[in-house]
Structure 1
Amino acid sequence: MKKTVLITGSSRGIGRATAKKFAKEGYNVIINYYKNKDKAFSLLEDLLSSGANAIAIQADVSNRKQVEEMCEKGYEKFGKVDVLVNNAGIADMTLFTDITEEQWRRIFDVNVNGMFNCCQCVLPKMISEKSGRIINIASIWGLVGASCEVHYSATKGAIISFTKALAKELGPSNILVNAIAPGAVDTDMIGGVSEEIREIIRDETPLEVIAKPEEIADVIYILSTEETKLITGQIINPSGGFVIV
């Protein structure tokens, strides 16, 4: 029986590349999107035309009811979720003293509460089957913090602590929980960054690169394989050496 992956925020960027990677490896793929319906269904068409089994489901991960409905639809289609990739997230650059309460709440609602909602919805089946993988997408800024991104950094730090604690709790159920903390990745989040700034990022990175989404997707997929069955509670940092901890 084919395994199934649910990837939140998978209409673009790292999520889109991850959906393509898992489909290529023979997984059933549940594409989640919030607003980018056209991009989500374009991805769905690509996967189906390549012979993969996939569905696209709209849901705001910060909304518990919508997450529950998404999981129900996924179970109806594929029976279970073997791998959950909590990729949905938003970013924002604002001076700390200018962050509004609304900005603070929204970024935590999506980045942290969204992860919480998705984990709670898939875990009952995973626990009953004593099998599953959860991979949360954090950031190097969750490890070291970023000026003018205090709220974003705080959410990514929360994801890291959440990952470590949940891994301890779910270990006896044979469910592995890990996080990926990428550095700069060539996605929409840095789409407006000038070439000058990109060059500075490359210069400050030992490997002198800005990662491609596909390269991060490869790392995410590796954590779903049998070869990594002893790895849990870890924060994998594919940043080209930008942050070394």
Structure 2
Amino acid sequence: MKRFALITGASGGMGRKAAHRLAEDGWNLYLHYNRNKEACIELMKELEPYLIEAIPISADLESPEGVDRLVESLFQLDAIVYASGTSHYGLFMDTTPKEMDDLIQIHIKSPMKLIQMCLPKLMRNEQSSIVVISSIWGQTGAACEVLYSTVKGAQISFVKALSKEVAMNGMRVNAIAPGAIDTNMMKGFTDEDIEQLKEEIPAGRLGKPEEVADAVSFLLSPRSSYITGQVLSINGGWYT
């Protein structure tokens, strides 16, 4: 029987690698993107050898209407991987109301609305799974990333609460909290900054998006059938 998973932010660094890993596992995929249509088209070409169905969906999850547009394009659905989002760096006292609204929308309101609207589809299955890509800063917080830490912390609370509510329906809800992963989010840092960062991480290096993708694969598989409401930290020992 065919299985379909939605990956939001599939054109981004972690979403892209998750798409490859899930395609390797035999999942058919809804590939959500917003502005980066070219990257999504390229990703679909990369997935052709897996002989799966790959369905692109364009929607702006920084707006409430974007969720409606996304859900309208979904039919069968067995899993959701919420990997959309942007970061924000700067002093909290300098954070604008628009910056707050934008991050709250894409990291809190949109995933909550999306999952709420998709629950009836997911509950048609004997087993279904949701994975939210949160952050190490949602676990411990970071200076100059107060807003980002706040919304990522909210994601973790949402996962823990929802997992208890839907467990009897055969649904599992988990989060992944990556540390410093080598994606475009790191492009704003200088080489010197990154070297200093590596010195703080016990593993001595940045994480790879493939390592996050492997965790997504695990949490969507029967191998994790008794795991729900958990936060899987992928951070090289940076925060334990």
Q: TM-score, normalised by structure 1?
A: 0.94
Query: Which residue pairs with 2:42 in the alignment?
Result: 42
Aligned length: 240
What is the CA distance between 1:68 and its match in structure 2? Answer: 3.0
Whole-Å separation in 2 of the counterparts to 1:102 and 1:71: 25
2:197 to 198, 201, 204: 201
Please tell me whether residue 72 in structure 1 is matched to residue 68 in structure 2: no
Q: Is the 8 A contact 1:178 1:233 kept in 2?
A: yes
Aligned-partner SS, 2:234? coil
Same amino acid, percent of matched pairs: 38
Gaps of 5+ in 1: none
TM-score normalised by L of structure 2: 0.96
- Kindly indicate whether the alpha-carbon contact (under 8 Å) linking 2:61 and 2:106 is maintained by their aligned counterparts in 1: yes
Would the alpha carbon gap of residues 96 and 84 (structure 1) be closer, same or farther in structure 2, given more than 3 Å must change? same
Alignment-derived partner of residue 229 in structure 1: 225
CA distance in 2, matches of 1:152, 1:47: 32
Output one character per residue of 1:72-97: Cα deviation in whole Å (capped at 9) or x when no partner.
3231xxxx111100110110101111
* Maintained 8 Å contact 1:163/1:233: yes
Q: Deviations over 1:39-92 (max 9, x none)?
A: 1111112112442220111011244443233233231xxxx1111001101101
User: C-alpha separation between the residues in 1 aligned to 2:150 and 2:132?
Assistant: 15
Equivalent residue in structure 1 for 2:148, among 147, 152, 159 = 152
Q: CA deviation at 1:113?
A: 1.0
Match of residue 118 from structure 2: 122
Contact kept in structure 1, 2:133 and 2:176, CA below 8 Å: yes
The alignment status of 1:173 with 2:188, answered yes or no, reads no
Deviation (angstroms), 1:140 = 0.5
CA distance in 2, matches of 1:180, 1:123: 20
> Do the aligned partners of 1:61 and 1:118 also contact (CA within 8 Å) in 2?
no
Q: CA RMSD in A?
A: 1.3
Counterparts of residues 183-198 of structure 1 (less than 5 Å): 183-198=179-194
The runs of 5 or more residues in structure 2 that have no matched partner are none
